[in-house]
Amino acid sequence: MDMSYTPAEDAFRARVRAWLETNVPAAGSLADDLEAMRAWQRKLHSAGLLAVSWPKEYGGAGLSPMEQAILNEELARVRAPGVVNAMAIWWVGPAIMKYGTDAQKQRFIPKILDAEEIWATGYSEPSSGSDMAAAKTRAERQGDYYVVNGQKIWTTLAHISDWYFVLVRTSNESKWGGLSLLLMDMRSPGVEIKPIRQIDGGAEFNEVFMTDVKVPVANLLGKEGQGWEIVSSALVNERSGIAGSIRGDQALDWLITTTRGQKKEKDPKVRQRIADLAIKGAIMRYAGMRSLTDSLREQLNPHLSAAMKLMGTSLVQEYSEAAMEILGPYATLMWDEHAPFNGRWARQYLYDRSMTIAGGTSEVQRNIVAQRILGLPRR
């Protein structure tokens, strides 16, 4: 692992940093404003700072994975808003590039980067827990269409999305081999979307009900039975990366600020707690560097990504748990005028409960680590 940057990479970082200094929207200015979110994504795209690792033929900048990592770091450093079509940029678009037909590439990819069409991904089901391979949403071939019936849950941004990257069962012959991936128009008759009000007050997740939804056979991505392969390759992107370490550093910095504000910086137990978190943050940072090295060498390492996902999401929860303990009883206030830091830590604490579930539960990640990294037997 080479920890240095080339002159060209340093120059790219300087260009990104200079652009962000004058173009990052004010904090909270994009909240619940879909058109403002689209505009922010388009602004990044026009500056050549969106999907920089996408090939130029698909509208990307055609830059290296290292430059993509640098961009992610800089965006995280200034706490830039995420882009509204992030799932399409990171997972849907690359999957269509890899597995899609020429017609699918021409139809769907151009409208991803300019946010003309927003995508959601449908994996989880209420009766399947964290086992995506247990999906029961059924797609039956009827002539030129698949007729889809079933339910998905925890679908992020479904309420504002145009298209659905949805995992369905086309066969019962094999648990994993019976899964396929469809590109579904979310305005199709039979699609019903119900937002889920979360404990922190947000509603970005949704239930999606599908009743006799007709999807053209031309919208099958890859082959029948290839769905598990497609989704697995997408989730590797979700569970790895180094920008997360920057966000961890920011959380640690805010935790230290909170500690000083409560005048507990000399408490030996608090100091030890923060030191432990700082050490774990450093471990995550270097694991991210290792993951990036694998990417630069074109080596797929899903086992490392599982370990990073397990540790990273647990660490996120530890940051907010520590803050709540340091704040004491007032930490429970969220929208009250007396809430410390306007209730930031209370909202963060509640939201962070989801982190060890989203993208694959910690229990699943532990099984992957135990079996595929440590070589432990199954029981």
- 66-86 exposure pattern, b = at least 16 Cβ within 10 A, e = fewer: bbbbbbbbbbbbeebbebbbe
φ/ψ bin of 212: left (φ > 0), alpha (ψ from -120 to 50), beta (otherwise): left
User: Residue 298, SS3?
Assistant: coil
Going by C-alpha positions, the residue among 10, 21, 18, 96 that lies closest to residue 51 is 96
CA angle 363, 369, 370 (to 5 degrees): 85
Question: Do the bridges between strand 205-216 and strand 145-152 make them parallel or antiparallel, or are there none, so unpaired?
Answer: antiparallel
363 as an active site residue: the answer is no
| Contacts of the segment 30-35: beta carbons below 8 A, 24+ positions apart | 30/81, 34/84, 34/160
What gap in Å lies between CA 248 and CA 133, rounded to an integer? 31
Q: Which of 204, 238, 265, 363 is catalytic?
A: 238
Q: What separation in angstroms does the CA of 161 have from each of 117, 120, 190, 314, 316?
A: 7, 6, 15, 29, 28
**Is 308 within 8 Å of 284 (Cβ atoms)?**
yes
Inter-axis angle of helices 65-77 and 243-261, to 10 degrees? 20
Going by C-alpha positions, the residue among 209, 191, 133, 129 that lies closest to residue 167 is 133
Going by C-alpha positions, the residue among 278, 303, 281 that lies closest to residue 360 is 303
Inter-axis angle of helices 243-261 and 302-327, to 10 degrees? 10
What gap in Å lies between CA 165 and CA 96, rounded to an integer? 10
Give catalytic residues, as residue numbers.
238
